[in-house]
Structure 1
């Protein structure tokens, strides 16, 4: 029997979902950044050699690189909220392990567990796509994507303040507290998405990708210690190539792979991921160079002689500006598309690094550089998930954004290794200490500018963008939906199940006052539908989908050029007599 309702109220997700998910991203960034102020003191604090102490940072990088695409795929299969909570919980456990010890091995283990939180970024973006209406999706993804920079910028001065005035273990306890708060907020505010990918988890693919990434990133991060031409470094690079090639052949043979390489090979996805590496390189250079320049003694002739806390405050505008660019990105992207905003962001980054070459004389000049770079990086970072989401099916959002986040991480790893090598090779040695030179800082900025130029070339070859926050049509039904939406005159909304989750491929029929069919469509992957009306007047919208009882909802269109928003909530499953 058909269930009828009149002017059914639309069920909208809580307005707190976006800030809560963005807070989870900020917590992840804080976890990544909290040891930056004490990097040079780690060998002394852990009573170990400098080469062993670097594993405290390397372990987080490796585990984050491995976890990001895997957690994204697990989220697509078993629930993005569930995997987000798991990532945060593992991070909290890792922070507590590191906080209760001063021995190098347990700290490395704790930091490796903290790296699992990197999966929170793509999982948060996936949850937003599943739950938010299109008009809110662009700015929400921009904020989530920028949160990694926001958290890093804010954490630098805060961590420096703690490290300067308290026991360094407090850094870990603070991160654990923020992680626990994020878990509580997620449990209270964020519902689970019912969107699921088909298939099972590709365990062999996960192991192969993990091995390949470790073999690739180890020589990148440790090459300067081992020697770039050493047998160990070259052997690991060669092994990485072999393992990743075999892994790719395996993934192409599977019906439900960990990473759909055919989707990844699409022009828009491939170029976006390659551009992401360049953006990652450009983001990390400024965080490596400016704090060192600010803290070097003025006696060097170019150092600015600032304290650890002041140096952190001078770099903090980088993160703050990234946060404020999210709403700006949403407006620009809505008008011109994410490709244009990515190009604009890269141009601003290039301007920041080019201008920064001549702005190294006083602390206030470094603040200007941080602001300009923050604006550019914020626009670029905000564009990347929109480009990915617009190019892949909804069922692959988590895995695709996980891979994109991984590309950014590879960019920061390459940046760390290359800039570390440049600064080491150009340093002056005084009383056994290697002191970076102004020439080394300038070469680092030039390398970042070159990376931006490569990223810009890649972005220019991206396909002509759709207007954001529209999602790219992945089927004939979605293309029809898009054409109808351009007409504006009609009904639009989402088809939802009894729990508020989107229902894809539901048939929505428009019936006029005489009982004749005036239009029909299928809901898109995110449950959205659009139906144009031939004239003003009362209508009935009938919706039906497999596994649900049908629904009929009456509504009136007044004939103006404004769509009527109407969500259709299907009752529970049909019951057979």
Structure 2
């Protein structure tokens, strides 16, 4: 009988292991592709003869599309379309890679980068699939790996992408990313289990998607280009005001429709509001701060400010982040045994903030970059692995995909805001007629990133309650029925 049990468990273990590997590869595929933005900004600026502030839109537009498509795909993943949606998102990402590699214009590059925004939806999709097919310790470990896959994928993929750029140019990196994305779609098609018959109809929110996309685009464009156009220019004011109106309209629509694109009530639920607000602030901190560090690392050394590293060398400098992000989810689980789980998130946020603060002060040696990346990776690994655990513990099983998707959307929204704000700060410190900002510009931008990080720490400490407190509040508020 023991032998029979062993034979039954072993195939199941192997099956779970192959599914975990497939989901991890899919999640990291999205992050590798989506992470192409920051490292190639200077390369694109030179290759396409555009300003750095314009080239920064290869990063911003991917985040913007990620903000829009992630909740839509997460909504579909709350039904029985998880496998199809995952494969479709990977194929859309692959098409974006092909467009970016083959269309020889800046507009074509932006189109390709926009399609690559589908890669950011991989985390909530893979988390939802894992929740359906994995359990116990395997599920907890898998969620930690998936939640940190963006940092790991960027850190591992950037050296490879940089080598492609070194050998040819950024289009070779897009070609490699196409192979990876298409391979991920094929693996998911072969390995992810087919869902059964649909249990309920999935309703989408096209009006919400249009309002959110238009509002964010207007606000981000006004922020990123305000220094160039003039902050009081009619175009800047019009775009900013119009974007705010659209975002306000989006919030009203989301609170009234039966099936909102982003469930603001769920996002602002007592147990989740602190986690989600921390996600926004960490997005501003991490995406904005990394963009500044990479620009400084690749800046020519002639004026004594930059390091003059190639995209490949910059990618190698990001390896400490990848390694730390991969190792630290286990550290986060260990910390949860010795301290309240809700305090693990602000601890990770503090490490990320400390990394950028230290680099703002010390940024004239190569090891300063490596040390900053390693410390940031530790913070990302701890904070991003704590988020899904906090969400799952406070969310009904049938709402997991939506809840994790909302968190991912807010993280990307913060990233888009952070990238746009850093673009504006750097433009503010760029003298007329020059392409690169003064050294004070990098320091000021990193200070802004640190400010967002400090607020994230405070929010995590104050607004993330213990899970037992949330359950007690639900018992009081809903004495008859609990969702």
Task: State the TM-score, normalized to the length of structure 1.
Answer: 0.73
How far residue 402 of structure 1 moved from its aligned partner, in angstroms, is 1.8
Greater mean deviation of Cα atoms: 221-230 or 137-146:
221-230
SS at 2:170 equivalent: coil
Q: Deviations over 1:194-241 (max 9, x none)?
A: 696665333333344333333344334444443333323332333333
Report the alpha carbon displacement of residue 15 of structure 1 after superposing the two structures with TM.
1.5
CA distance in 2, matches of 1:73, 1:137: 21
d(CA) in 1 for partners of 2:204, 2:446: 42
Q: Give the 5 Å matches for 1:10-89.
A: 14-46=16-48, 55-89=57-91
Instruction: Write the mapping of 1:23-172 to structure 2, written as runs, cut at 5 A.
Output: 23-46=25-48, 55-172=57-174
For residues 20 and 365 of structure 2, what CA distance do their matches in structure 1 show? 38
Residue 333 of structure 1: how far off its partner (Å)? 3.3
Q: Which has the higher contact order (CA 8 A, sep 6+)?
A: 2
Distance change >3 Å, CA 225–CA 58, structure 1 → 2: farther
Residue 370, structure 1, aligned to residue 373, structure 2: yes
Gap runs ≥5 in structure 1:
1-5, 477-523, 526-577
Q: Do the aligned partners of 1:77 and 1:197 also contact (CA within 8 Å) in 2?
A: yes
1:422 correspondence with 2:425: yes
Matched, 1:254 2:252: no
Report the counterpart of residue 434 of structure 1 in structure 2: 435
Secondary structure in 2 matching 1:360: coil
Q: Closer, same or farther in 2 for the Cα pair 1:450/1:320, shift >3 Å? A: same
- Name the stretch that deviates more: 262-271 or 36-45: 36-45
Q: Secondary structure at the match of 1:257?
A: coil
Select the structure of larger CA radius of gyration. 1
Task: Give 1:455 shift.
Answer: 0.4
Separation (CA, whole Å) in 2 of partners of 1:283 and 1:368: 15
What does residue 348 of structure 1 align with?
351
Of 437-446 and 272-281, more deviation after overlay is shown by: 437-446
Aligned residues of 1:95 and 1:173 also touching (Cα < 8 A): yes
SS at match of 2:463: coil
Q: Distance in 2 between matches of 1:100 and 1:321?
A: 35
Superposed CA RMSD in Å reads 3.1
> Is 2:294 aligned against 1:291?
yes
Closer/same/farther in 2, CA of residues 173 and 305 from structure 1, 3 Å limit: closer
C-alpha displacement of 1:340 = 1.7
* Counterpart for residue 215 of structure 2: 212
SS of the residue 2:315 aligns to: helix
SS of equivalent to 2:148: helix
Q: 1:233 to 1:339 in 2, by over 3 A?
A: farther
Aligned to 1:303: 306
Instruction: Report the equivalent of 2:330.
Output: 327
- Following superposition, the deviation at residue 414 of structure 1 comes to 1.9
How far has the Cα of 1:447 moved from its partner? 1.8
Cα offset, 1:272, TM superposition: 1.4
Structure 2: give runs of 5+ residues left out of the alignment: 476-481
Alignment check: 8 A CA contact 2:64 2:413 kept: no
CA distance in 2, matches of 1:203, 1:273: 23
Paired with 2:94 and 2:374, the residues of 1 have a C-alpha distance of 32
**Which has the larger helix fraction?**
2
Residue equivalent to 1:389: 392
Counterpart among 384, 403, 406 of residue 403 in structure 1: 406
What's the secondary structure of 1:258's corresponding residue? coil
Q: For residue 452 of structure 1, what is the aligned residue in structure 2?
A: 453
Count, aligned residues: 468
Aligned partners of 2:360 and 2:56: how far apart in 1?
A: 29
Bigger share in strand: 1
Who is 1:517 aligned against? none
Which SS does the other structure have where 2:351 is aligned? Answer: helix
Q: Give the direction of change, closer, same or farther, for the CA distance of 1:47–1:434 in structure 2 (3 Å limit).
A: closer
Q: TM-score, normalised by structure 2?
A: 0.86
- Residue 239 of structure 1 corresponds to 242
In structure 2, relative to structure 1, the CA distance for the partners of 1:456 and 1:196 (3 Å cut) is: farther
